[in-house]
Amino acid sequence: MSTTSRRPLSSVLPTLLALLAAALFAAVPTASARTEAVPTATLTEVTGFGANPSNLQMYLYVPDNVTAHPAVVVAVHYCTGSGPAMYNGTEWAQLADTYGFVVIYPSVTRSSKCFDVSSPQALKRGGGSDPVGIKSMIDWTVNTYSADTGRIYATGISSGAMMTNVLLGDYPDVFAAGAAFSGVPFGCFATTDGSEWNSACSGGTVTHTPQQWGDLVRAAYPGYTGTRPRMQVWHGTEDDVLRYPNFGEEIKQWTNVLGVGQTPAATDSPVSGWTRTRYGATGDRAPVEAISLQGVGHNLYSWGMADRALTFFGLNTGGPAPEPQPQPGACKVTATTNAWNTGLTASVTVTNTGTTTVTGWKLAFTLPAGQTITNGWGATYTPSSGAVTATNATYNGTLAPNASVSIGYQANHSGNSAVPGGFTLNGATCTSS
């Protein structure tokens, strides 16, 4: 095993991370496998973890405060990416620090750096290829850390989102839930000629009935009658790589697999420009949850979305926390904007309405589509668009009960100058006005 220090990025733009990937691979040399636990608070490559027919690499992140019998999240990268790039470009490791779970980052070694979601071997339980290697990584982690086999989850971006669909189909007895960001249904990318790419599926022209989509999943593990994992899917309406119709086909598939109706039990807009539908139940852990992002392209993932997936998984309702956090409803946010032409300024006031002092705060919110922060004051803002996190400055990091802090930023806009929404303070939902 070998290690590398974590160096978080402020965004997860695949074009940037693709440049990082080669350097990160060079910085993490391969060493012989050992059977003991890996060092904590650092990304570690594990070798010799079990059956691995497609020669994947396994990277593991274990927080200092890993819980007894921890949950496991498998975070799967996009084409041209890598395990280290996924580690650096998403907040899964930071969330692991907060909640004590373990993160596995599978990494492709084939030249395309895309996961196999198309071959007959990949679309069958135990059939070979990438899913078998990922299952071996999970088994190694469960055995090494006595992980909770009832709390194993998969998530991914693009190719990783497609693999999330495949993993939940191949191994329904392993995963409790998945979250797929810009993916396609299980079996949609299937090919028989050895090609990794299916243009009909990527173009959104592969359509089936819900029953047909469900049958594809059920055929991956014939005879299985146990509980099926819940699924959360995300897609941008302007996705030009894996076209938007795939979003509706995923909903068809997983509502059928989970035996719930295709009429939403609840529909809302948690963030301006987002439409969230829930199927089979109305709460945070519905059998199927789908989030459509109006006007957003393929690279929809932004900082803060993983925390929403964590809510769907049910993993951010407990566990150790590195700093005091207000309870839901114990914070209030007032936001206003002053706009002109293609620009605006925003003023945001946060009040701690709870009874506990907050020491060190992060205010998360989502900007309306088309807005990009150009500069700010009172906090550090990352990234500059989408789901943004404002982190306190050195002089205003403490919020006593009933105390307030005012921050602000300047932004460009493309016509929508509305205030941001979806405010949370250290992960707790705030009321807003």
Q: For 314-360, give the DSSP string.
A: T-SSSS--SS--PPTTSEEEEEEEEEETTEEEEEEEEEE-SSS-EES
The total of other beta-carbon atoms located within 10 Å of residue 29's CB is: 10
Marked catalytic residue, from 2, 11, 136, 158: 158
Residue 429 is predicted with a pLDDT of 78
pLDDT average, residue stretch 386-405: 88
User: Under 8 Å CB-to-CB from 22, ≥6 apart: which residues?
Assistant: none
Q: Which residue has the higher pLDDT, 383 or 15?
A: 383
Confirm whether 82 is a catalytic residue. no
pTM exceeds 0.85? no
Give per-residue pLDDT as tens, 56-99: 999 999 999 999 999 999 999 999 999 999 999 999 999 999 99
10 Å CB burial of residue 34 (0-12, 13-18, 19+) is: exposed
Contact (Cβ atoms closer than 8 angstroms) between residue 192 and residue 120: yes
* Closest listed residue to residue 62, CA positions, set 19, 14, 105, 96: 96
Give per-residue pLDDT as tens, 236-291: 999 999 999 999 999 999 999 999 999 999 999 999 999 999 999 999 999 999 99
Give per-residue pLDDT as tens, 297-323: 999 999 889 999 999 999 987 443 333
Residue 226 is predicted with a pLDDT of 93
The structure tokens listed for 243 are: 């076209």
